[in-house]
Chains A and B, each alone.
Chain A
Amino acid sequence: MGYFIQQLVNGLTLGSIFGLIAIGYTMVYGILGMVNFAHGDVFMIGGFISVITFLVLGLFGLTWVPFALVCMLIMSMLFTSLHGWAVERIGYRALRNSNRLAPLISAIGMSIFLENYVQLLQGARNKAITRMLAGGFQLLEDSSGFTVQVSYMQVIIIGTTIVLMAGFALMIAKTELGRQQRACEQDMRMARLLGVDVDRTISLTFIMGAALAAVAGMIWLLYYGIVDFYVGFLAGIKAFTAAVLGGVGSLPGAMLGGMLIGLIEVFFSAYFSTQYKDVAAFAILVMVLIFRPTGLLGQPDVEKV
């Protein structure tokens, strides 16, 4: 029982990361109907910017942990969202009305470019930072003597994710921007006729998705202590799987899917095999697409002729 709860905590932590990335996929898919393949690499860039901010802060001797964490969060969100914006502006905007495959191929090119860009600029070896926040507390001890450990870092990660997701859901539901986004998602041409600045809305979508991915990148860095240029590929695919599992286009679905993928991966490694955990993730993706292409919370989409 204790072992199970321990894995549950670990799974939720990993799921937070996937959920945050999945929101970016799902929002872009909802509005543009394209898979932003480069989103995983935007997440990776978020991790790198966190490392660099951490080192810059170290240069000035500003190592008080809460301050450093907030600084890393802000810088990472700021600069990564700029990258997200640039990806859309350069790679996708011109292709908005083109055939379906062109934006996807452009996105794959963008992904290859970003991976190699970071590899060339920052080196191929993984970047490790010292643990910023050590320690934790004992949640409970079961009858067999297994103690469930929760680190402070895990508390911060899950807490941050919940706060961000709640704030984000509120923004989509209540603000002017959220309304415009939902309008674009339903019918872009009609939204434009009614005075919504579609270009601006799409740009903001990419910026928000990238900002959330940046948080995920920073969490990844803090949780695992390392980041490398290739980390975005697999994490991106898993997050995409999460978005599909939850139902592409649905925000609660992305969060749910992220949590599920995190839990499945952790439990699969814990009870079956660590070697095949990535195979499990891909198998889920394939299964979901075959048996329930609309995902758990998605709307079936109607094919228009």
Chain B
Amino acid sequence: MAVSEIAVAAGSRLERPFVDILKDAAITGAVTFALALPLVGFQTVDQTTAIVLRTRFPELFYAVAVIFLGRLLMLLTNAGLARPIAAATGALSLLWLANGFFDVFEPPHMVLGWLTWIADTVVALRAALVMRRRQVAAAGYLRSDFGEHVVVMVNRLGGWLAPFVAAFAVALPFLPFADQRVMDIGIAILTYVMLGWGLNVVVGLAGLLDLGYVAFYAVGAYTYALLSTKFGFNFWEALPLAGGMAASFGIMLGFPVLRLRGDYLAIVTLGFGEMIRLILLNWSDLSNGARGIGDIPRPSFFGMPFTPAPPEGVVAFHQYFNLDFAPIHRVIYLYYIILLLALVTNFFTLRIRKLPIGRAWEALREDEVACRALGINPTNTKLTAFAIGATFAGFAGSFFATRQGFISPESFNFLESAIILSIVVLGGMVSQIGVVVAAVVLIGGPEWFRDLSAYRMLAFGALMVAIMVWRPQGLLAHREPTVRLNDPKRAKPS
């Protein structure tokens, strides 16, 4: 292997004996082997009468080799070989991508190919970072945190970019490439952006970890579905009711539990989320159980439906505007509804942060005891955050119901809560633009790469762990103080 030759050649320059490093990497390889042996090495295959066992040893050994080499290179990077390793792995990363196109060398499984590329690229980036850090240190500067620097830059850019992103979102339906598929993905992303912004009030601003956010989404969806199918409410009439219903659920559920500490609260909210789902699943008289509610009315444009042949005495949208009927009109209309709802959520959040209640949330997040000493009522403050977050989930839920036309309890499982939470967390808790970026990556990405969708949740979980380990405060988290004494920008020269 070329790497070991480099290592031997540079042996004298290593800051740690090569044998030592090799031993460390070998131990890692052995542990990986033991870890992967039962679940990767053997596969249980269902057959008609019983399950049988198949072996997957090539995959097993390949995976172990990748981990061993990755660990070896990482240790060598730390021991002072950052430059050659950055160059070699960087080149290999590109080669591997080319290999993906031309299929010269084929790993035992497609996922292992991806794993190789990711591991290699991570090693390359890390080597580059270590290299830079050493240069900075050698030049005698203070050690700069590169990650922090990037985050500050992205957040500054975010402030600049936000109007452009919003303008792009508004203009999207009229752009030439906006077909049905693009619009559907746009709607999906915006729904999650809205949910993320809503949850951000609870998790980001008030610092309450809510693992059952999807419960309020479900309440909103079922409120609209039931009001419209049983009592003939239309979307716009039901929307505030759905929000109010979700808010009252938020207060009802929040009131007894909000005095609990962070992680207890998280588990209780998870319990509530699952309870709501199980009740919807089993209380068939109300919710029609697992079969769900269908034929939920679509929204109309000021009373004008989006149907090719409206009933007698009703003017359809395309007739009023003298257009040819096209199904995409309704999709575009739905897109604008969710865009509007999302922007309202964003605007509301941005403004309320500056009100006393918003300040109280953030203060409470930082130090509850100090807040209590200063006369802030923690329960009421937390309850408002909970209720406001729930309201937005309720709005999003009724939008979901009207968009899908069909809802069932299966749409509101824990995974959904976890996805929304990870959008907020990956976005960096508090960062509004971060939520947008995370939603585009997490929701839009898998929609485009449909073939890889089986691996979506796997990558999701791994990403959550990796980001927490790398940046526990969130990917794009950067806390600008909301108020500053002696603000350098505002300070007048005296």
A interface residue numbers (CB < 8 A to B)? 34-35, 45, 48-49, 51-53, 55-56, 58-59, 75, 79, 82-83, 86, 90-91, 94-95, 98-106, 108-118, 120-123, 125, 127-130, 233, 237, 240-241, 244, 275-276, 278-279, 282-283, 285-286, 289-290, 293, 303, 305
Contact = CB atoms under 8 A, between A and B. Distances in A.
A98 B464 CA distance: 16
Contact of A99 (B39, B278, B473): B473
Contacts of A86: 31, 35
A285 B275 CA distance: 11
A49 B262 CA distance: 34
A94 B472 CA distance: 9
Contact of A100 (B37, B50, B211, B262): B262
23 contacts: A48-B44, A51-B44, A52-B44, A53-B38, A91-B469, A95-B472, A105-B209, A106-B469, A108-B464, A109-B462, A109-B463, A110-B465, A112-B418, A112-B457, A116-B458, A120-B458, A122-B44, A123-B45, A127-B44, A127-B46, A237-B267, A240-B267, A282-B274
Given A35-B266, A109-B463, A303-B369, A122 B43 contact: yes
A275 B35 contact: no
Contacts of B425: 105
A98 B461 CA distance: 20
Contacts of A113: 458, 460-462, 464-465
Interface residues of B, number: 58
Contact of B465 (A35, A106, A121, A305): A106
B267 A45 contact: no
Can you list the 3 inter-chain pairs with the closest CB atoms, starting with the nearest? A109-B464, A113-B461, A112-B461
Contacts of A241: 271
Interface in B457-484: 457-458, 460-465, 468-469, 472-473
A79 B37 contact: yes
B145 to A, nearest CB: 16
Contact of B209 (A56, A101, A305): A101
Contacts of B369: 303, 305
Contacts of B461: 109-116
Contacts of B50: 128, 130
B39 A121 contact: yes
Contact of B278 (A59, A98, A233, A278): A278
Given A105-B421, A116-B457, A122-B43, 11 more contacts: A82-B34, A102-B468, A109-B463, A109-B468, A113-B458, A113-B460, A113-B461, A120-B455, A127-B44, A128-B50, A237-B267
Contacts of B264: 244, 289, 293
B104 to A, nearest CB: 26
Nearest to A282: B271
Interface in B26-66: 31, 34-35, 37-40, 42-46, 50-53
Nearest to B282: A275
Interface string B258-269: 001011101110
B272 interface: yes
B39 A118 contact: yes
A103 B425 CA distance: 12
B126 to A, nearest CB: 15
Most buried by B among A121, A233, A240: A121
Contacts, number: 180
B233 interface: no
A282 B268 CA distance: 8
A98 B472 contact: yes
Contact of A52 (B53, B256, B260): B53
A48 B39 contact: yes
A53 B38 CA distance: 8
A191 B461 CA distance: 34
Contact of A127 (B38, B51, B414, B472): B51
B468 A105 contact: yes
Contacts of B418: 108, 112
Contacts of A305: 369
A109 B422 contact: yes
Most buried by B among A52, A82, A86, A98: A52
B171 interface: no
A244 B270 CA distance: 14
Contacts of B167: none
Given A56-B53, A112-B418, A285 B468 contact: no
Q: Is the interface of B mostly helix, strand, loop or mixed?
A: helix
B361 to A, nearest CB: 15
Contact of B38 (A49, A109, A123, A125): A49
Contact of B44 (A55, A79, A101, A233): A55
B55 to A, nearest CB: 10
Interface string B263-293: 1101110111011001100100000000000
A279 B469 CA distance: 34
Contact of A276 (B34, B278, B422, B465): B278
B435 to A, nearest CB: 15
Nearest to B275: A282
B275 A279 contact: yes
Contacts of B46: 123, 125, 127
Contacts of A59: 53
Interface string B410-427: 000011001001100100
A56 B46 CA distance: 15
A52 B38 contact: yes
B257 interface: yes
B53 A290 contact: no
B2 interface: no
Contacts of B491: none
Interface string B422-464: 1001000000000000000000000000000011011011111
A305 B211 CA distance: 26
Given A51-B44, A117-B458, A109 B262 contact: no
Nearest to B281: A275
A51 B53 CA distance: 10
A224 to B, nearest CB: 15
Contacts of A128: 50-51
B268 A109 contact: no
A59 B272 CA distance: 46
Most buried by A among B44, B270, B457: B44
B52 A55 contact: yes
Contacts of B39: 45, 48-49, 52, 117-118, 121-122
B457 A279 contact: no
Contacts of B463: 109
Contacts of A290: 256-257, 260
B31 A82 contact: yes
A285 B44 contact: no
A278 B274 contact: yes
B272 A79 contact: no
